[in-house]
């Protein structure tokens, strides 16, 4: 293994694709943060709610009150720093930390693509992405390299490929392929689209979109990697993501994916791109063409870094399969659902009413969820067990602090999945105040009344 890998790890490639990736990534993230702010989401998602849903083990990550705006400023500036390649190490570390902190503040806003960005941001810290066409490299000759290790660029490609491929695997289930669900529910609601609208109600369109989507996700990494199909593949990337951007409210993600896919293109393409950009900006690209190849400062550190990134990649490969450790239907329990590139797979909604029972005298009452949660939080809470439990604990603490003594919390919950009739979701006899959060299977989730086969 070592012998085979050694020559691969000593190979170098043009730095231009990595530089282009860095620039686009930074710009996209900067725009993403500005957009988030402009929509008033900082206020709405992080400042208005009294209570935040946290990730297991990350309860200490909380919004910072008025300073939350500062955090977003920091994040935006760091993204700009990444784009410009200015004090790149600091910028990239700062961007990763601030962005990830923001994501960890409330899992109500969890999106796979935010997670993907955190992962990319993490990896970018360790890549010599500032070696070419950056302010750092312009400033200091000793930081200027025309070539970088080949694995640095390949790592980004692998990460993109993983997202697509796993998203494709996740679609190989009976709901998606045999029932065309949830597209059968979502597409007819888009009847008002110009041109496409008339098609959205047709059943064959639901099936065509489902199958084409699965096929696309599974094949696009290979089509992008393989030079002869690359051009077509990129056209498909543009078409696919534009279509999803039109059909679904998925924000920046389609555009991030489109520009990221450029990393598959040849160094020549990226050099041209930077040449054009350089002329526009009055920076000669040739200034960076030193012919020098970037080499790690310390071999030991380089070894450790590669080992760490290797483990990181391995974790990425394994995480999506962790659902196999849990009994029951994944879509129903959502145990192992997040961080697995399971996107757009479910039309799931729920409704939960919490009953608080005072243990001292048996007096009971229901909770008005709007007293504690925003509409968005309530919606996300209503069909995700870990949210339900965390909120139940919050209610327990709240009402005990109010002087009700020891209280039991029961959930009266109904969930509908992919057009099936709603079904009771949580065992109404189980006192959630006494249940604890862990990675173990939650036995108080009632079993799913139906079966979805496939991966």
For residue 224, give every residue at least 6 positions away whose Cβ sits within 8 Å of its Cβ, in sequence order, or none: 157, 160, 161, 230, 233, 234, 237, 261, 264
71's CB contacts (< 8 A; 6+ apart) are: 64, 98, 101, 102
Query: Using CB under 8 A, which of the segments 256-264, 312-320, 327-335, 415-423 binds other proteins?
Result: 415-423
Identify the CA nearest to 52 among candidates 110, 114, 113, 115.
Answer: 110
- Going from the C-alpha of 343 to that of each of 157, 179, 297, 356, the distances in angstroms are 20, 17, 40, 35
Nearest Cα neighbor of 102 from 156, 45, 50 is 45
Instruction: Please give the C-alpha separations between residue 378 and each of 52, 252, 331, 350, 437, in angstroms, as whole numbers.
Output: 11, 24, 19, 9, 19
Written as six digits, the tokens of 403 are 């002087």
88 or 209: CB nearest other proteins: 209
Residue 39 touching other proteins (CB under 8 A): yes
User: Does residue 245 touch other proteins according to CB under 8 A?
Assistant: no
201 binds other proteins (CB under 8 A): yes
Interaction between residue 339 and other proteins (CB under 8 A): no
Q: Which is nearer to other proteins, 152 or 162 (CB)?
A: 162
* Residue 75 in contact with other proteins, rule: CB under 8 A: no
The single residue among 8, 9, 90, 226 that binds other proteins, judged by CB under 8 A, is: 226
Binder of other proteins out of 10, 11, 202, 453 (CB under 8 A): 202
CB atoms closer than 10 angstroms to residue 287:
13
Task: Select from 67-75, 265-273, 316-324, 412-420 the region that touches other proteins (CB under 8 A).
Answer: 412-420
Site string for other proteins, 42-61 (x = CB under 8 A): --xx----------------
Nearer Cβ to other proteins, position 292 or 348? 348
Please give the residues from 178 up to 197 whose contact with other proteins meets the rule CB under 8 A. Answer: 184-186, 188-192, 195-197
99 to 158, contacts with other proteins by CB under 8 A?
Answer: 109, 111-113
To the nearest whole angstrom, how small is the minimum distance from the Cβ of residue 162 to other proteins?
Answer: 16
Q: Which residue has the tokens 């597209």?
A: 183
Q: Judged by CB under 8 A, does residue 332 bind other proteins?
A: no
Shortest gap between Cβ of 408 and other proteins (angstroms)?
Answer: 13
Instruction: Show the CA angle centred on residue 389, arms to residues 388 and 393, nearest 5°.
Output: 120
Closer to other proteins by CB, 292 or 358: give it: 358
Does position 267 bind other proteins by CB under 8 A? Answer: no
Instruction: Identify the CA nearest to 149 among candidates 168, 180, 128.
Output: 128
Look at residue 352 and give its three-state secondary structure.
strand
> Binding of other proteins at residue 260 (CB under 8 A)?
no
Give 66: exposed, middle or buried? Use CB within 10 Å, 0-12, 13-18, 19+.
exposed
Of 379, 394, 427, 437, the residue at the interface with other proteins (CB under 8 A) is 379
């Amino acid at each position: 293994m070592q012998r085979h890998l050694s020559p691969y790890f000593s190979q170098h490639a043009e730095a231009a694709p990595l530089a282009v990736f860095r620039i686009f990534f930074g710009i996209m993230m900067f725009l993403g943060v500005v957009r988030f702010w402009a929509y008033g989401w900082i206020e709405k998602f992080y400042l208005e709610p009294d209570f935040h849903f946290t990730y297991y083990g990350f309860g200490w990550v909380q919004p910072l009150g008025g300073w939350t705006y500062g955090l977003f400023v920091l994040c935006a500036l760091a993204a700009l720093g990444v784009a410009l390649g200015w004090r790149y190490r600091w910028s990239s570390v700062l961007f990763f930390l601030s962005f990830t902190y923001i994501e960890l503040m409330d899992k109500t806003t969890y999106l796979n693509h935010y997670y993907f960005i955190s992962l990319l941001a993490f990896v970018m810290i360790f890549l010599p992405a500032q070696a070419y066409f950056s302010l750092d490299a312009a400033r200091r000759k000793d930081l200027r390299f025309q070539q970088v290790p080949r694995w640095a660029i390949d790592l980004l490609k692998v990460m993109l490929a993983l997202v697509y491929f796993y998203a494709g695997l996740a679609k190989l289930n009976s709901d998606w392929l045999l029932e065309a669900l949830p597209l059968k529910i979502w597409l007819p609601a888009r009847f008002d689209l110009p041109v496409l609208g008339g098609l959205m109600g047709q059943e064959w369109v639901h099936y065509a979109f489902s199958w084409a989507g699965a096929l696309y996700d599974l094949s696009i990494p290979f089509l992008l990697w393989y030079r002869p199909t690359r051009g077509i593949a990129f056209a498909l990337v543009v078409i696919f993501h534009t279509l999803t951007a039109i059909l679904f409210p998925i924000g920046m993600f389609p555009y991030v994916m489109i520009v990221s896919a450029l990393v598959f293109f040849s160094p020549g393409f990226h050099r041209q791109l930077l040449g054009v950009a350089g002329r526009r900006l009055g920076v000669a690209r040739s200034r960076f063409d030193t012919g020098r190849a970037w080499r790690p400062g310390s071999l030991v550190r380089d070894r450790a870094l590669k080992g760490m990134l290797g483990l990181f990649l391995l974790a990425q490969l394994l995480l999506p399969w962790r659902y196999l450790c849990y009994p029951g239907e994944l879509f129903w329990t959502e145990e192992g659902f997040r961080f697995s590139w399971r996107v757009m797979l479910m039309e799931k909604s729920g409704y939960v009413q919490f009953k608080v029972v005072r243990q001292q005298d048996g007096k009971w009452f229901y909770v008005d969820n709007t007293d504690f949660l925003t509409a968005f939080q309530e919606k996300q809470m209503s069909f995700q067990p870990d949210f339900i439990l965390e909120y139940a604990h919050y209610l327990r603490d709240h009402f005990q602090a109010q002087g009700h003594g020891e209280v039991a919390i029961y959930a009266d919950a109904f969930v509908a999945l992919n057009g099936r009739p709603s079904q009771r979701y949580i065992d109404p006899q189980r006192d959630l105040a006494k249940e604890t959060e862990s990675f173990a299977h939650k036995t108080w989730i009632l079993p799913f009344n139906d079966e979805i086969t496939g991966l």
